[in-house]
Amino acid sequence: MTENLDTPKTLWHLLFSKLFEELLPPVGISVQHNVVLMSQSPEADILLLRREKTWTKAQRERLPDGIRDSHARHLLLEFKYTESITESAILQTLVYDTLYKKHQDLSEAEVQTFLISAKKTQEKRLANWGYQSTEQAGVYHNPLWLLKDIPLISLNELSDETHNAWVKCFASHLIEKRKAFDALKSKSLSAMTAQLKWFLSGLWRHWFNDPKEDDMTLDMTPEQLTKMGEMWGDVFLHDLPIEKRLAGLKSQDILSRFNPEERLVGLKPEERLVGLKPEERLATLKPEEIENYLNKIKQK
């Protein structure tokens, strides 16, 4: 099933950017949206990912096919959600690619620009433009010299691998969205920041828990969406039994939240001393206190 995609373009650009801004900086990839393409031009509705060295394992786990295989240090992402891929969109992306390289004085090898589409483009149209499928589902390359460095990524067609799931949350088909969220649920929550968890939770709540809002026609900012995810997450956790709330947490992480007095609440005196050597038990006592206690024992 395909959603109604009549939402304003800027909303989807901001939400798509917000995902990368929460997802990638923790693994060392800088993210910038509304990139300046030249000194006297307005900002472009495009997302920039920038790295210093080769992709690390942690970075590749958060990047989709195509992007995670690029050797460029600067990656420009032009995202289309409400719009289908057209000749105009391809030319616009090509202009972004050219202007950015010129303004930053970067070589062809240092920059790669990706055209990302939430919708699946008809094969006939792709063939007319020269785009050909690759071994990776959803990733298309163009052998023509003009577009050879501008791959096209179709979110609906990407494989169900977990590293693709992050961006597939923005696929146009609800079934692909659902599979993406299911894949992310299997990941360790400790690998995500709180802001990322709430953002994804807000997306899920907005798309799947209110059938009247499945098409996301409300004008919601990334901040509002994150706040909604946080509130919904708190309500969800409130109804869970204590063992499920604590599932996946290490005992030392839980105990670190309490001061020493709170940790000992409810324990009997002998339970508090379990594991201590005799000298450790007596370490805080003064000699006269030990002697007085020994005298009491003798009198008994």
- Residue 94 carries which side chain, given as an amino acid letter? L
pLDDT digits (tens), the chain, 300 positions:
444 444 444 467 788 888 898 899 999 999 988 776 655 444 456 888 998 889 999 999 999 999 999 999 999 999 998 888 999 999 999 999 999 999 899 999 999 999 999 999 999 999 999 999 999 999 999 999 999 999 999 999 999 999 999 999 999 999 999 899 888 877 655 567 777 877 887 787 777 765 444 444 445 566 665 665 554 455 444 445 666 556 666 777 666 777 777 766 777 777 677 777 877 777 777 778 777 777 777 776
DSSP 173: B
Tokens 């360790």 correspond to what residue? 188
**Number of Cβ within a 10 Å radius of residue 299:** 6
d(CA 195, CA 123): 38
Residue-range domain boundaries for the chain: 9-172, 269-299
Burial per residue of 233-244, b for 16 or more beta-carbon CB atoms within 10 angstroms, e otherwise: beeeeeeeeeee
pLDDT at 2: 46
Quickly list DSSP for 197-216: HHHHHHHHHHHHS-GGGTT-
Q: Which residues contact 164 (CB under 8 A, 6 or more apart)?
A: 64, 65, 138, 158, 180
Burial class (CB in 10 A: 0-12, 13-18, 19+), 263: middle
Tokens 């009549």 correspond to what residue? 6
Instruction: Give the Cα-Cα-Cα angle 244, 250, 255 (nearest 5 degrees).
Output: 100
d(CA 222, CA 15): 6
Q: Kindly list the strands in the beta sheet with 74-80, ordered across the sheet, starting from the edge strand earlier in the chain.
A: 30-33, 47-50, 74-80, 111-117, 152-154, 139-141, 132-133
Do the Cβ atoms of 156 and 53 come closer than 8 Å?
Answer: no
Distances (CA, A) of 83 to 10, 77, 89, 199, 269: 12, 15, 9, 24, 69
pLDDT at 209: 67
Take residue 210 and report the two structure tokens written for it: 């209110």
Q: Which residues contact 184 (CB under 8 A, 6 or more apart)?
A: 162, 165, 166, 169, 200
Do the Cβ atoms of 54 and 68 come closer than 8 Å?
Answer: no
d(CA 158, CA 167): 9
d(CA 98, CA 183): 36
Burial per residue of 65-81, b for 16 or more beta-carbon CB atoms within 10 angstroms, e otherwise: bbbeebebbbbbbbbbb
What pTM, to 2 d.p., does this model score?
0.69
* Class at the top of the CATH hierarchy for domain 9-172: alpha beta
DSSP 7: S
